[in-house]
């Protein structure tokens, strides 16, 4: 699978670790940065990864920062992207089954005890269920580009 990855300075070490394990598992990883430990702006990297996924240059994206929250907010601004943070393996599975999440956002604190690797593995192996969930994802997609007046 083609996976776009990005991080800010606070997620750099986890991103590197995940990229290594993903490549070892046979995935093609494209790293959109950052590659420095000095302070950088996470929306720049969220945008690059989200756009790669939206264009179809990558099947999925993984973003890492201190908490994953900022990355998810920024990535969700790109049409065609459904990004979320997850805290456990059940959420990693359900975000795929029910929401067809294509960008996973993680926080550096999830690096302990192999949790991040387990979350990524569950997320990557889980298919989208479709059916009634496809209808709901369609409604989410319809919200893209809404303004307070256009989607009331």
Q: Report, in angstroms and rounded to the nearest whole number, the Rg of the chain calculated over CA atoms.
A: 15
DSSP secondary-structure letter at 26?
T
Q: Which of 9, 65, 95, 105 is catalytic?
A: 65
Catalytic residue list contains 65:
yes
Q: What is the pTM of this model?
A: 0.96
Mean per-residue pLDDT, 123-145: 95
Report pLDDT digits (tens) over 10-36.
999 999 999 999 999 999 999 999 999
Q: Contact at 8 Å (CB) between 83 and 53?
A: no
Residue 35 inside a domain? The answer is yes
The catalytic residue among 9, 95, 98, 133 is 98
Let me know if 98 is a catalytic residue.
yes
Within a domain: residue 150? no
**Is residue 134 domain-resident?**
yes
Instruction: Round to whole Å and give the CA distance between 131 and 98.
Output: 9
What are the two backbone dihedrals, phi and then psi, of residue 143, each rounded to the nearest 5 degrees?
A: -75, -15
Which domain range does residue 80 map to? 2-142
Number of domain units in the chain: 1
């Amino acid at each position: 699978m083609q996976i776009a990855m990005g991080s800010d300075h606070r997620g750099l070490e986890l991103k590197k670790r995940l990229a290594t394990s993903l490549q070892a598992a046979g995935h093609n990883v494209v790293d959109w940065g950052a590659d420095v430990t000095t302070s950088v702006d996470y929306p720049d990297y969220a945008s690059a990864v989200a756009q790669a996924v939206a264009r179809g240059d990558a099947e999925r994206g993984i973003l890492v920062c201190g908490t994953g929250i900022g990355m998810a907010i920024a990535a969700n601004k790109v049409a065609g992207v459904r990004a979320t943070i997850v805290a456990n393996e059940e959420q990693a599975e359900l975000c795929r089954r029910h929401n067809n999440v294509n960008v996973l956002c993680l926080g550096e604190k999830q690096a302990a005890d192999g949790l991040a690797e387990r979350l990524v593995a569950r997320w990557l192996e889980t298919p989208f269920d479709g059916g009634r969930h496809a209808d709901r994802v369609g409604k989410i997609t319809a919200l893209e580009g809404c303004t307070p007046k256009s989607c009331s």
